[in-house]
Amino acid sequence: MTSPSRNALRSVPFNMRCLQSPRLELLFKEVSSYAEEVRVEEIIYRSDSPSREMHPAATVGLPFRRPTIQIADSLSREERIEAIAHECLHLLLVYRHGLGVVGRRIPRPGNSEDVFHYYMAMNGDWAYLLGQVANTAHHLILGDYLKKEYGVESHLHRRLLHHNFRILLGEKNRDKESAYAKGVIAYEYERLIGSINGMMSPSCATEAFERAYLAAKRNFGTHSFQSVPTPSAYETNILSFLEELGYDAGGFLFFPSITDEPFPARKDIGDHPIR
């Protein structure tokens, strides 16, 4: 997935007070107590940019502990409240609950086998797959958390999930990582919206898609607002999911890690946007 700013004309600081939402300000204040610096930017897009409609909000900078929430200029007031609250809850799950983002571990210097496997896998769309794994693991918790703790709905997220998933089903897989990511999204769709029966064509229901869908169901099936996993259980679930897809669990790391105290900035993990 591309970061919103790549298709943007410019970004400008956004003052949340103009939204006049005490609930959002309360949530943002709580998030700011866990993260050192949280910024909100409005992204001014070209009128024909697909990111403006498909991905109108994202957060970047997590591994460097300087998260920036980015929202599209096309959103209405209510959509902006939902979008910013959604991204704030992602940050709360990362910084308060320790449910971090996952990335590929850079090969150890001098270990030729690690280097070989790392570069052999470079053709895969890792940002898409790993970004989606963390997104879905969060989204299974996030909607109910927002509504019950802060009184904020998630209509925008569900509408975008439905719209984007239908588009994805018509796209050809670029690689197996892309097919795996679709399987993860399919599981999220069933949990948050409803059955995917009748939406799938034979060309979509590939072995890789089915494998990832079932692995996500097995490993993330207990994730919910009523059952937020511990950092240890969360990491175990994600690594188990990746192992079921045939990957070596030792090739991945998390930010923040359950061993980080306090959580430092990480330079050995990519900056995959969360949405």
Judged on CB neighbours under 10 Å (0-12, 13-18, 19+), 109 is: exposed
Same domain, residue pair 85 and 122: no
Q: Judge if 193 and 247 occupy the same domain.
A: yes
85 and 21 co-located in one domain: yes
Q: Does the residue 266 lie in any domain?
A: no
Question: Of the residues 96, 126, 151, which one is the last residue of a structural domain?
Answer: 96
What pLDDT does 171 receive?
83
Same domain, 56 and 115: no
pLDDT of residue 273: 62
Q: How does pLDDT run along the chain (275 residues), one tens digit per residue?
A: 334 445 567 889 999 999 999 999 999 999 999 987 899 999 987 766 555 557 789 998 887 778 999 999 999 999 999 999 999 999 999 999 999 999 888 766 655 555 444 444 555 578 899 999 999 999 999 999 999 999 999 999 999 999 999 998 888 877 899 999 999 999 999 999 999 987 876 667 789 999 999 999 999 999 999 999 999 999 999 999 999 999 999 989 998 765 554 444 444 444 556 66
Whether 73 and 135 map to the same domain: the answer is no
Does residue 273 fall inside a structural domain? no
Check whether residue 155 and residue 127 sit in a common domain: yes
Q: Is residue 265 part of a domain?
A: no
| Residue among 128, 108, 127 nearest 116 (CA) | 108
Classify residue 264: in a domain, yes or no. Answer: no
Q: Same structural domain for residues 114 and 145?
A: yes
Q: What is the pLDDT at residue 198?
A: 79
> Is 107 a domain residue?
yes
Count how many domains the chain has.
2
**Are 164 and 229 in a shared domain?**
yes
- CATH code of the domain in which 49 resides: 3.30.2010
Domain encompassing residue 64: 1-96
Same structural domain for residues 84 and 122? Answer: no
Residues 86 and 154 both lie in one domain: no
Please state the pTM of the whole predicted model.
0.85
Looking at the structure, tell me whether residues 45 and 173 fall in a common domain.
no
> Do 151 and 35 share a domain, yes or no?
no
> Residue 272: inside a domain, yes or no?
no
